[in-house]
Chain A
Amino acid sequence: MDVLTAVLSILGLATVFGIVLGYAAVRFKVEGNPVVEQIDAILPQTQCGQCGYPGCRPYAEAIANNNEAINRCPPGGEATIHELADLLGVEPIPLDSEHGEEKARPTVAFIREDECIGCTKCIQACPVDAILGAAKLMHTVIAAECTGCDLCVDPCPVDCIDMIEVPVSLQTWTWQSPAGIGQINAELIPVRNIL
């Protein structure tokens, strides 16, 4: 009798939990893989394809689903690798130089407009629609939207696109780190320097 009660109560519990879990699986179903979203949020969104995938999201999917290496994003560089390592709980590894070098400073594309023949090839190559123009008319880059991915440089038949470094402006300038121990900080800010 005791054995029967035990078995029945266990079965009963199993049924109840089964129903609850089954309901929860339907009710709280998560669409897609949330890790992909998180990885995609870390990637720099230049959509340059240097990782070998056609855009940042496909690379994020590859990392999440196919265990792709996290060191294939040159625009993100070390910082992105560290963030990805943190997120995925793996050791950070150095950037794979096969896919390119990290740029010291951000760049934007610049079209030498008098040389442009209006072929629209760069417009088609731009992943973020940051190039403006029409066939046989001059093209130009919307610098604020350009991610500096270099994808427009190769298609140009007359090589009139330069990648230029974004100059530091009053809005983007930041203070530098002090030199460190043993160094005199003849810095711009005279804090503490009163007699």
Chain B
Amino acid sequence: MSRRIWNFPGGIHPPENKQQSKGSAIRSVALPERLILPLQQHIGSPAKPVVMLGEKVLKGQMIAEANGVVSAHVHAPSSGTVTDIGDYPIQHPSGIKGSCIVIKPDGKDQWLPHEGIEDYKTVETNLLLEKIRNAGIAGMGGAGFPTQVKLSPPAGTEIETLILNAVECEPYITADDLLMQERAHDIINGLLIMAHIVKAKEILVGIEDNKPEAIHAMEQAALDTPVEIVVVPTKYPSGGEKQLIYMLTGKEVPSNALPAHIGVICQNTGTAYATHRAVVHGEPLISRITTLTGEAFAKKGNVEVLLGTPISHLLAEAQADIDNMSRLIMGGPMMGFSITNIEVPVVKVTNCILASSKDELPLPQAEQPCIRCGDCAKACPAQLLPQQMFFYAKALEFDKTQHYNIMDCIECGACSYVCPSNIPLVQYYRFAKGNIRKQALETRQADKSRERFEFHKARLEQEAAEREAKRKARLEAAAQKKADTPSGTLSTPAPAPQEDAKLLVLKTAAATSAKQFQQAKKALALAEKNAADNLTELQAKVTQLEAKADTAKTALREALKAQKTLAAETTPSGAKSTADTKSGS
């Protein structure tokens, strides 16, 4: 153990509470009545269902396929029938329902034929990556990042160090601890497969010194392999990816960058185990180790549970005292979230179910004003300024929180833990981060709308221009046609406009006078009906208007006649050309 351990700044030492669940071996859970499999159990886009309602599926059969690169397949954890594809409560703090596939197990637990790769060193890395992708493996530590994506770093980056994150620093959780104690060889093998894929020069396993049994088991399993077991002092949150990388290598992951940029990849213990199962046995990820702990559970411990198992089933299995249960938390007490519906299923990232009694996790104290003690800044493992971010988040000045690098906050909860005023700091940061993301999304949408609006305008302009061009073409064609007609017609168009104008005036006069006459007549009729006083006046008006309308009409008629004779005189060819001009106009 000559390796140097870099100590990251900040951190806290909360009560560990790990003894409750680490006493017994991993046990299996009976098949539940139904399995609810969310399409989104990982970061990225939700998987796409590939099974039909009522379809019979076998254990390990793919029921939803990855949708895009950053996505993961979902497999049937047991054989049975697909009974529903719809919205069910899922593992989300909001309590919003998500799309799920529900399988009713038939009890036979019949596997789909599958086979593994005997010697992974002889096959190409692409094939191994494909195997991992086909198994639907996503980071099982909590974030759920698809593993094959993490194992394919961008071209040009060389991976120096592969780190297995076996720290498990969060209180209460012992799932990785037990997994290492019982299946160390498989984990080391999974780790070696990953190292083979990324061609890592150095393979490290980081374990906190509060897990002596696990350290011993892993050291035994790592004998005669290039894997080095590094014991790190217990401090929360040493299991944070960036914190662990710093502890083991002294390298800091830059803001807005991935560990791969500094030549490091970090993988979780459960993920390494799942990789081993996928490559060596050809088994997809259909179960995981989950810690059942908290005072409400009578049988605390770690269980190997099928994905999709409702928590209600686990509560019954571990004889939980539901009446005495004050809160049900998925994940640990530091970074987990409460769930209100016990039908939420276990998913790929569920490492712990904490069912606390009322005494164990009482309601938090009321928030008090900040006294600027600065304890939060001392505890922050990311070296941020929690106070400043808190003030600005509270004042809804989210751009200023960004100046204080709120996006680098890992939401570990160390600041909230030390705060003497009981300020729920992390909630404020989550609130600010959510709003920053929302604003970014709105800006993106606004840009898209702007683009579409500009395009819409351009399209309308183009259409108008096309119409104009067509109209011009038609006009020209008409003019051409006129020019092509026999001589003599050429003389008619000249007087025509003048004549037409005169005619138009007459026509309008006739129409107006006729209308006025009609209106007057109507008014008269109405007046007669109502027996009005001004009957004689109205009658005079009507006669006057009638006369006017008649004169206008005769004038128009005469004008028309004159025009016709004129046309007949000027065009010797007669009827044909008149017809032409008519149709032309």
Contact = CB atoms under 8 A, between A and B. Distances in A.
A194 B449 contact: no
Interface string B407-445: 000000100110100101011101101110110011001
Contacts of B426: 189, 191
B363 A184 contact: yes
Given A191-B417, A194-B15, A194-B334, A181 B368 contact: yes
A130 B360 contact: no
Given A174-B438, A175-B430, A185-B367, A169 B450 contact: no
A192 interface: yes
A45 B424 contact: no
B455 to A, nearest CB: 7
A124 B413 CA distance: 53
Interface string A107-142: 000000000000000000011111000000000000
A175 B436 CA distance: 11
A190 B326 CA distance: 12
Interface stretch (B92-100, B130-138, B146-154): B92-100
Nearest to A83: B399
Contact of A189 (B96, B427, B459): B427
A92 interface: no
A130 B394 CA distance: 37
A131 to B, nearest CB: 11
B367 A193 contact: no
Interface residues of B, number: 62
Given A128-B452, A177-B431, A194-B17, A184 B364 contact: yes
Contact of B416 (A46, A181, A192): A192
Contacts of B362: 193
A71 to B, nearest CB: 19
| SS class, residues of chain A in contact with chain B | loop
A92 B524 CA distance: 64
A20 to B, nearest CB: 37
B378 to A, nearest CB: 16
B335 interface: yes
Nearest to A194: B333
A32 B459 CA distance: 23
A145 to B, nearest CB: 6
15 contacts: A40-B450, A44-B442, A129-B459, A168-B96, A173-B92, A173-B96, A174-B431, A174-B434, A177-B428, A180-B394, A184-B365, A189-B337, A190-B361, A191-B333, A194-B333
Interface of B: 14-15, 17, 40, 90, 92-94, 96, 98, 171-172, 327, 329, 333-338, 360-369, 393-394, 413, 416-417, 419, 422, 424, 426-428, 430-431, 433-435, 437-438, 441-442, 445-450, 452-453, 455-457, 459
Given A185-B364, A192-B422, A194-B361, 5 more contacts: A145-B452, A177-B427, A178-B427, A193-B333, A194-B14
Interface of A: 40, 43-47, 55-57, 126-130, 145, 147, 168-170, 172-195
